[in-house]
Amino acid sequence: MHWSLSGHARRLLVLAVGGVVLAVLTRRAEFAGLAAPALLLLATWQSDRNPQVEVRIHLGTASLVEGVSAPLQVEIHGHEPFAARLLIEPGESVTAGAAVDVPGGHPTRGAVLWVVPTRWGRYSLGVLVITFTDRYRLTEGTAVVELPYASTYPHAASLQSSVVLSRLPSRLGEHPARAAGDGIEFAGVREFVPGDRQRRINWPATTRHGTLHLSTFSAERTQNVVVIADETSDVGEPGASSLDLVLRGASGAITRYLAARDRVGLIIFAGRLSWIGPGQGRRHWYRLLDLMMSTPGGWDRAPGLTRLPRAALPPGSLILVFSPLLDARLVEALRDLRERGFSVLVVDVLNTEPAHDGSRLSRLTARMWHLEQEAVRFSLTQIGVPVVHWDGVTSLDTPLAPYTRRALVAHR
Amino acid sequence: MTAAGAWRAHRQRSEPTGRSPVTGIAAATALAAGVTLWSAFPLSTGRSGTRLALVTAIVAGIMSIAQLAAAAIGNRDSDSFAALDQVAQWLTGLVKMLPWAELLIVAVLGLEALHGSRPWHTALLGIALTGYVLAVHLTETRAGAGVLRAQLPLLSAGIALTALSVGAAALPHFMAGSTDAAIRIVVLVVAVVAVGLAVPVWLSRPGPERGR
């Protein structure tokens, strides 16, 4: 901790010394009077100060999310008589609120400062500069405290509806299935057979037909969803690049399906494959998001990525792919998935195109690139893999609407 | 009160420092201009060097206000290599390079010293200069005037001593007699008031902090 004269004290000192020196040199008493207020203020200066201060910093939230402000609780122990000014000098990709003044006079003083991470990732939040000022504003002590590194999760894309497969595994969940079961969604009426529960007798139908009839209900099942996040490419404007959209979209889908009690898994398709098998619950949500944050993106051409591991893909899963579809290995992997009988839905997040200078050759190249991209998407559609385009601005419900209105037929 | 209770109480009391510095900058500008003009005029009665001191005071005054404005705007580090950004950064560096407020104080004191003796004029200049120093401090820390409450008795005592000095400087100009006696009584009263204001504040300073 560094103690020094404040700027205020320096100016008072200049005024006092200047007045006294001029009073002596010019033998004019009024200059001594001119220096009197400054001299009296400087007389309160103290030289003894404790060089130690204890600062505790606590991030007031379990996880940071890009674009969402998070409280930072600061506790200061020591230097009770001194007022403190707390100012965050934010690191890269972080914005901070205004400085906070904490009055002196108590052994434990605290303040809440706010930081807003502006991009996903793991980085330092910056430094906290604490400036202690004595009662008479003559002495300043400055302490600089390094703020912790924090993982910032991508802002989850809004998704209120969900794509549900027509054929669901026989595991208790919340999606009404075609099979009859013990759910709450009415499915139909059938004749009573011995062994049926009497409480399900449909009395209006029984009266009409003259024989016992009972109501049937749909079974409620869960589904396995595997989200594939393609991190092989990062093109477009920073903050709205394809990688940003991939992570936001994947995060939104994971959040939505876990909230619907589905089992969700994640495959990161980058320079190498990383995955977590399907699971449920809040803890699993953190595991998936942490995997998303911890996997380094890569453009290296690792072999063997065209076939995704069986362990990460339970049979009958719904595969949601977030990708700009710029990597041929992923396209091959999707074809392979389709051949293995999975229901695959691709969310295309490519919102940019290569820049061209307007020359004939450049225009021709751009045209070829467009045709190639169209061909990739067309070929996927032809093998039964729907491709929808998402611009990253609207809700994910908009592009997925054709597939969320009714159950997605699982082709075998 | 427990430590947690104290923490909660102070958390509620701590405030974001977001006061607009515009008022403070305007006050500092008015005071800087005022002290420069007050100490410089009339130019005709000044000794040699008055004009140089005046120019120095004007430059230092402008730069000190620019320094306050630059501090209010804050650091905006730019990676841009555009010429305009480079010039702006260079200018900001120039403004922050020197202690312009201190230079203004020295120049103004020099200007006053270059004129003949005028006690009441110098006393008013001293009060205005103290006001300028306080205005600059409040502006650069964006604090309210309430933080100066503790200094108020000392400021009052200082102003009383300034008045005392004016009296002391004016005494030789009066003839001996009843006026002289009256001034001596006034000076005595002022001195007692000044001491009475300053001593309690000095005695009530917090003691040195014990090490933990």
Look at residue A3 in the predicted model and tell me its pLDDT.
82
CB A231 within 8 A of CB A269: yes
Per-residue pLDDT of chain B (212 residues; tens, 9 = 90+): 343 444 444 444 444 555 678 888 999 999 999 999 999 888 777 788 888 999 999 999 999 999 888 887 765 555 555 677 777 777 777 777 788 999 999 999 999 999 887 888 899 999 999 999 999 999 988 888 888 888 888 888 888 888 888 877 776 665 555 666 666 666 666 766 666 666 666 666 555 443 33
pLDDT at A212 over 60: yes
**Preferred mutation among B78, B114, B149, B154 to probe A, highest tally of A CBs within 10 A:** B154
What is the C-alpha to C-alpha distance for residues A178 and A181, in angstroms, rounded to an integer? 9
- Residues A117-121 have a mean pLDDT of 88
Is residue B151 situated within a structural domain?
Answer: yes
Q: How far apart are CA B152 and CA B197, in angstroms?
A: 9
Q: What angle do CA B10, A100, B204 make, to 5 degrees?
A: 60
Name the strand (E) or helix (H) holding A285: helix A282-294
pLDDT surpasses 90 at A373: yes
Flag if B210 and A50 touch (Cβ within 8 Å).
yes
Q: What is the pLDDT of residue A1?
A: 73
Dist CA B212 CA A388 (whole Å) = 65
Nearest to A30 among B14, B136, B165 (CB): B165
Per-residue pLDDT at B43: 74
> Once rounded to an integer, what is the mean pLDDT over residues A20-46?
86
Cα(A277)–Cα(A265) distance, rounded to whole angstroms?
5
Mean pLDDT of A321-342: 91
Structural domain containing residue B158: 145-205
Q: Which of A121, A111, A138, A112 is nearest to A49 (CA)?
A: A138
Domain check: are B100 and B177 in the same one? no
Min CA distance, A26 vs chain B (Å)? Answer: 7
Q: Which of B119, B143, B167 is where one domain is finished?
A: B143
- Kindly state whether residues B182 and B130 are assigned to the same domain: no
Q: Does A383 touch chain B (CB under 8 A)?
A: no
Among the candidates B143, B177, B194, a domain finishes at: B143
Please classify residue B116 by burial: count the beta carbons closer than 10 Å to its beta carbon, then call 0-12 exposed, 13-18 middle and 19+ buried.
exposed
Say which residue the tokens 């000190």 belong to: B64
B156 and B131 co-located in one domain: no
State the greatest distance between any 2 C-alpha atoms of chain B, in Å, as a whole number: 76
Residues B39 and B28 placed together within one structural domain of the fold: yes
CA end-to-end span of chain A, whole Å?
69
> Hey, are the CB atoms on B105 and A102 less than 8 Å from each other?
no
Q: Are residues B31 and B99 in the same domain?
A: yes
Least confident of A51-60, A71-80, A402-411, B189-198: B189-198
Please give the radius of gyration of chain B, using alpha carbons only, rounded to the nearest integer: 23
ipTM of the complex in this document: 0.79
* Interface touch B209/A14, C-beta < 8 Å: no
Q: Among B109, B156, B199, B203, which would you mutate to test the A interface (most chain A Cβ atoms within 10 Å of its Cβ)?
A: B109
B91 CA: distance to closest CA in chain A (Å): 21
Give the strand pairing for A100-102 and A83-90.
Answer: antiparallel
The amino acid sitting at B84 is: L
Same domain, B90 and B155: no
Mutate to test the interface with A, among B141, B155, B190 (most CBs of A within 10 A): B141
Tell which residue, B169, B200, B198, has the closest CA to residue B183.
Answer: B169
Question: How far is B35 from chain A, CA to nearest CA, in Å?
Answer: 13
Best mutation target, A4, A10, A11, to test chain B (most B CBs within 10 A): A11
Longest dimension (CA), chain A: 126
Name the domain count of chain B.
2
| pLDDT number for residue B201 | 64
> Could you report the per-residue pLDDT of A229-246, keeping only the tens digit for each?
998 888 888 888 999 999
Quote the DSSP letter at residue A97: -
Of A37, A78, A83, nearest to B130 by CB-CB distance is: A37
Decide if B6 is inside a domain.
Answer: no
Task: Closest CB to B101: pick one of A11, A31, A111.
Answer: A11
* Claim to verify: residue B129 and residue B73 sit in the same structural domain: yes
* Chain A contact for B71 (CB, 8 A cutoff): no
**B12 belongs to a structural domain:** no
Q: Is A287 exposed, middle or buried (0-12, 13-18, 19+ CB in 10 A)?
A: middle
pLDDT over threshold 80, residue A173: no
> What pLDDT sits at residue A251?
95
What are B24-48's pLDDT values in tens digits? 899 999 999 999 999 988 877 778 8
Would you call A33 and B164 a contact, using CB atoms and an 8 Å cutoff? Answer: yes
Q: Are residues B40 and B66 in the same domain?
A: yes
- Predicted confidence at residue B173, as pLDDT, reads 60
Q: Which of B106, B122, B143 is the last residue of a domain?
A: B143
Q: Judging by DSSP bridges, how do beta strands A343-348 and A387-389 pair with one another?
A: parallel
Residue from the list A14, A22, A44 with its beta carbon closest to the beta carbon of B202: A44
Binding-face residues of A in 23-42 toward B, CB within 8 A:
25-26, 28-41
Distance in angstroms (rounded) separating the CA atoms of residues A322 and A317: 16
Top mean pLDDT of A3-12, A99-108, A249-258 is at A249-258
Contact A46, B208 (CB under 8 A): yes
pLDDT value, residue A276: 92
Residues B35 and B120 reside in one and the same domain: yes
Tell me, what's the pLDDT at A218? Answer: 82
Rounded to the nearest 10 degrees, the angle between the axes of helix A7-26 and helix A29-42 is: 150
Segments of chain B assigned E as strands: 15-16
Q: Which of residues 224-253 of A touch B (CB under 8 A)?
A: none
Phi first, then psi, for residue A244 (nearest 5°) are -55, -45
pLDDT of residue B2: 40
Q: Classify residue B210: in a domain, yes or no.
A: no
A-facing residues of B in 87-146 (CB < 8 A) are 99, 101-102, 105-106, 109, 112-113, 117, 119, 122-123, 125-127, 129-130, 133, 136-137, 140-143
Nearest to B167 by CA among B103, B122, B107: B122
State residue B17's pLDDT score.
Answer: 56
Tell me, yes or no, whether B79 and B179 share the same domain.
no
**Is residue B36 within 8 Å of residue B128, measured between CB atoms?**
no
**Minimum mean pLDDT among A111-125, A255-269, A380-394, B162-176: which range?**
B162-176
Tell me whether residue B91 is in a domain.
yes
- Interchain CB distance below 8 Å, B17 and A46: no
| Selection from A141-145, A176-180, B171-175 with the highest mean pLDDT | A141-145
Which DSSP helix (H) or strand (E) runs through A173? strand A172-191
Domain-embedded: residue B187: yes
**In a domain? residue B188:** yes
Q: Which residue of A has its CA nearest to B18?
A: A98
Residue A136 sits at the chain B interface (C-beta within 8 Å): yes
Residue B188 is predicted with a pLDDT of 65
Nearest by Cα to A294 from A149, A159, A105, A88 = A149
Interchain contact, B165 vs A52, CB within 8 Å: no
Residues of chain A contacting B169 with CB distance shorter than 8 Å? 28-30, 33
B56 and B34 inside one domain: yes
**Mean pLDDT across chain A:** 86
Phi, psi of A208 (to 5 degrees): -70, -45
Residue B10 within a domain: no
| Domain co-membership, B139 together with B175 | no
Confidence band for A258, pLDDT divided at 50, 70 and 90: very high
